[in-house]
Structure 1
Amino acid sequence: MINPESTPALARGGSGDVLTGLVGGLLAITSTKIPPLEAVKTAVWWHAQAAILAAKERTELGVDAFTLTQYLIPTLEKI
């Protein structure tokens, strides 16, 4: 699986930790409802979209791991 949508803003320390938390959280709450691969795909998409939104509002250099977490819910609100 390749996610073609991303941003250089994710090339910062801690962004992988945010992704790991999303994967773990989605796997935990959906383990009996959706296949694990779908949960992982969703986490990857969500992570990238949050970073794209954050980079648009704060510039790519203004996105650290904490900031990225602040854009997770707003990302879902936009869909």
Structure 2
Amino acid sequence: MINPESTPALARGGSGDVLTGLVGGLLAITSTQTPPLEAVKTAVWWHAQTAILAAKKRTELGVDAFTLTQYLIPALEKI
């Protein structure tokens, strides 16, 4: 599967670490009846939406790993 929505802002050191944390966290809180792939897809979507929002508020070059973490909740609030 490919996530069609993303931004070059994720081409920064540490952004993959944020994604890994999202995947791990979502896997830890999902029920045993939820397929792990669903948690991974949710994490990928959340990660991309967070970066898109952060890049709009700042610039694509202004989105580092710390900045991504600051936009995780605001990205969810937009849905």
Question: Is the shorter-chain TM-score for this pair beyond 0.5, marking a shared fold?
Answer: yes
Cα deviations by residue, 1:6-39 (Å, 9 ceiling, x for unpaired): 0000000000000000000000000424210000
- Distance (whole Å) between structure 1 residues aligned to residue 33 and residue 59 of structure 2: 37
The percent of aligned pairs where both chains have the same amino acid is 94
- Distance (whole Å) between structure 2 residues aligned to residue 29 and residue 73 of structure 1: 17
Q: Which moved more, 1:33-42 or 1:3-12?
A: 33-42
Aligned residues: 79
Cα deviations by residue, 1:28-66 (Å, 9 ceiling, x for unpaired): 000424210000000000000000000000010000000
- Distance (whole Å) between structure 2 residues aligned to residue 31 and residue 60 of structure 1: 35
After TM superposition, the score normalised by the length of structure 2 is 0.97
The answer to whether residue 45 in structure 2 is matched with residue 52 in structure 1 is: no
Q: Following superposition, which runs of at least 4 residues in structure 1 exceed 4 angstroms of deviation? A: none
- Distance (whole Å) between structure 1 residues aligned to residue 34 and residue 76 of structure 2: 19
Classify the secondary structure of the residue corresponding to 1:74. helix
After TM superposition, the score normalised by the length of structure 1 is 0.97
| Pairwise CA RMSD | 0.8
- Distance (whole Å) between structure 1 residues aligned to residue 33 and residue 72 of structure 2: 22
Q: Which runs of 5+ in 2 are unaligned?
A: none
Q: Which runs of 5+ in 1 are unaligned?
A: none
